[in-house]
Amino acid sequence: MLTRKQHELICFISDRLAETGVSPSFEEMKDALDLKSKSGVHRLISALEERQFLRRLPNRARALEVLRMPERGDVKKANAKTLSQVSPSSTSRNTPPSPANDVIEIPLHGRIAAGMPVEAMEGATMLPVPAALLGSGDHYALEVAGDSMVDAGILDGDYALIRRQDEAREGEIVVALIDDHEATLKYFRHEGAMVRLDPANRSHDPQRYRPDQVRVQGRLAGLLRRY
């Protein structure tokens, strides 16, 4: 079942595609839905993707395809006014969507150690990220401090783009919260009854913890590097 904002967004996208054949930009969607930031648009699109109403076309940040429109029973608060009621529509011109360099803003939660754990910092800073770097789901960013993941191509000063989740598969690079206080970026593995957090640097040793000491806060989805 869709929320009112999800319903408004898919109607707005569908009408714009019918008018021009081109998906609206994240800025246009943000303004149309009266949202404070483009990260809200990204979350709505990700939710519509997961429910198979929308599909992002590969290698095109702005290209969206409407797979199906919601039925009356799919929408919460169905009596709310939707954008489809205020947006003009016309016959589709069947023009393929064109690529664009849209960016979205995701929360930047301070620095995270790629070496020994450091205190996890929370902040309200937003980081602009090319939309093409992110898939579905909710994301945040952490600035990498340290060199223990250099052999995985993760360098000091990089921005790790993290997909929020609380479970990890063997061998995934995750943000692990230790004793609800300190966070680190490492490979996640099991060793007997223990959780082992492995670095990607031979000069650093693995870290071993009891399972109750470790909480997965997300997995690595991408990297952003500034030169």
186 is annotated as an active-site residue: yes
Catalytic residue, candidates 30, 84, 186, 203:
186
81 is annotated as an active-site residue: no
**Residue 58 CA to its chain's centroid (Å):** 16
Cβ atoms of residues 17 and 88 within 8 Å: no
**Residue 43 CA to its chain's centroid (Å):** 7
Question: DSSP letters along 114-165, please?
Answer: SSS-EE------EEEEEGGG--SS-EEEEEEESSTTGGGT--TT-EEEEE--
Q: Which residues contact 186 (CB under 8 A, 6 or more apart)?
A: 114, 148, 149, 173, 174, 176, 197, 198, 199, 207
User: 55 has which bridge partners?
Assistant: 65
d(CA 25, CA 221): 23
b/e 139-160 (16+ beta carbons within 10 angstroms → b): bbbbbbbbbbbbebebeeebbb
Phi, psi of 151 (to 5 degrees): -70, -10
Dihedral sign, Cα of residue 91, residue 97, residue 98, residue 104: positive
Residues labelled catalytic: 148, 186
